[in-house]
Structures are given as C-alpha cells and as structure tokens.
Amino acid sequence: MSDTKKQALSLGGVVVATALPYSENASAPGGLAVDYDRYAEHCRWLVENGCHGVGPNGSLGEYSSLTDDERRKVAQTAIEAVGDSGIVVVGVHGAGSHQAKHWAEVAAEDGADGLLCLPPTMYRANRGEVLAHFEAVASVGLPVMVYNNPIDTKVDLTPDLVAEIARIDNVVAIKEFSGDVRRVLEIKEQAPGLEVISGADDVVLESLLMGATGWFAGFPNVFPAESARLYDLAVAGELEAARALYEPLVAAFRWDSRTEFVQAIKLGMEQVGRYGGPCRPPRGPLTPQMREQIQADMSRAIAALEKQSA
C-alpha cells in the first residue's frame, strides 16, 4: 500500500460522493443501464484532480435504484479504478442491520477502505435500534463513518447519541449533514477522537474552520481541483483565500442540500463539459424553472473560477 493511501485512511480529506452515469437501454431498470466504463473514468478523474477518494453507492450514487448485482459492481468498479491513488468509502445503507451488514461484508471482500452507513432507512429507529445497527456494521471490521441525515431518515444522530456510537469499535468518523455547524464542536467535545466530516457542501467552509477534518462531498463531482484547494486553504487557516474561493460557489453548493441534488449535480457536470446524464426513478427530470436556476448559479460559479484563475 502506498504512503498516500496510508495517510488517507483516516477517512478525512475530500471524499467525493460519486454521481453514477447511465446509458439508455430499454431492457435495463428504468430504461437506463449503468455505464461502468464511464464511472471508472470519473473516479480516476476525481482523484487525479486532487480529491482524496471516492464514495460509491451513496444517495448521490442512487444506490436505492440499483439492483443488488449493480450495486456490488459499482463499488468494485470504484475500488479497481482508484487503486492505491486514494481511498474508497462504500455506502452500505440498508433498511435493517442485516442488510447493511451484508453490504459491509461484501465491501470488505471487494477491498474497500471504509464504510459509510446511515441509520436504518425507511424506519424511524429508536436509540437502541440505532446503536445495534451500527454495532452490526462495525463488527465486519472496516473503519465506519456513520452518516447523520435527519432530513431523509427522520433519525437525528444528536451529539449525545453520537458519543455513544463513537464507543463502538471501528466507528471512526461521522458525516454530519444536519446543516447545524454548531454540532462540529459539540461532537468533538462529547466524542473526542471521532473525525467530524462535513456532509453538506453549503456549510463546508464553516465546518472545516470549526474543526471538521473532512468533506464528504457532492459538488466536487463538478469542481474537484477547486474543492481540493478549498479544503487545503481551510485546514491551513488561510481564511481570506478560502472565503474568496468559497463565496462565489455557495449558491451552486446549496443545491446539494435540496431534494433535486442528484439532478442538479449531474446538470452541473454537464456545464463544465463532463457527462452527467439522466437519473433513474424515482428521480425525474428537472422543471424548466429549476434547470434555469441551477444553470444560472453554476454559470456564476464557473465565471468566478475563471476570473480567479486568470
């Protein structure tokens, strides 16, 4: 294993929640087949542009719309594509602990570096059930990043609950997506040693300045090199330069926290000359008004970056 990979195994840095490309195929689910070759190229491109790793099979990767065979092959594709150049943190979300543990075991077999795991999906689990869920996943032995997304799961991993979860062996980090940057310090106080990872793009600078050690990100699918630079500036405490880079991007970044975030990020990819493409159901096309707003927000971000680079 290379020195770069060893240094990255903290699960910190910029890990990109990868968007998943499809090609039209009438016989595939939803009329769309996963384009594994294009996905492999995208994973390599992200790491080559300075990101620390990739996260297949997250919400942005539309894991819940995949067949079991597709879901495993997506993770395998990312692992093979990245190799020793970065880390791969595989999403193992499941409705119950038995499903999540199964995906954790599969990820371990396939060579993942770490796991990203929501509380039970589709069920508002109580405190004991949440702890049991993460205990089952962590028992597989890979480093686990728990994922707090109370908007979608209806389960809020509050700092006091996070402190309990952090006592589980192999739980090393939390992806914090509540949008409340006050939690960064509160989690660090109650669960010292647990890495706090910013999960929402539109509060990433605030989170990093308060002590977050990573960014599990959506819009680096669009701006990988610029996102890696933003992360480096923030952790180095270069606030003036970080703000100058961040502020023109925030309007676009806010789409990461909206219902249509997958479609928005794929559209953003198209605007910078990458392939975004369609989404499988239940995600449908953007309304004309949303499409126009995303394009406007992205255009301002692109223009600002071009001006800065000039």
Q: How far apart are CA 301 and CA 222, in angstroms?
A: 11
Q: How far apart are CA 273 and CA 224, in angstroms?
A: 13
Q: How far apart are CA 180 and CA 207, in angstroms?
A: 9
**Token pair in block for residue 66:** 């995949």
Is 266 assigned a catalytic role?
Answer: no
Kindly name the residue from 39, 63, 175, 266 that is annotated as catalytic. Answer: 175
CB atoms within 10 A of CB 307: 9
C-beta separation of 133 from 97 below 8 A: yes
Pairing of strands 22-24, 13-17: unpaired
Is 175 assigned a catalytic role?
Answer: yes
Kindly name the residue from 147, 188, 246, 266 that is annotated as catalytic. Answer: 147
Cα separation values, 141 from 45, 167, 168, 200, Å: 29, 14, 11, 27
* CA atoms within 13 A of residue 279's CA, in its CB half-sphere: 22
C-beta separation of 278 from 257 below 8 A: no
Which segments of the chain does DSSP mark as H helices, in order?
Answer: 3-8, 36-48, 68-82, 97-110, 127-138, 150-153, 159-165, 182-190, 204-209, 224-235, 239-246, 250-253, 261-271, 288-309
Residues noted as catalytic: 147, 175
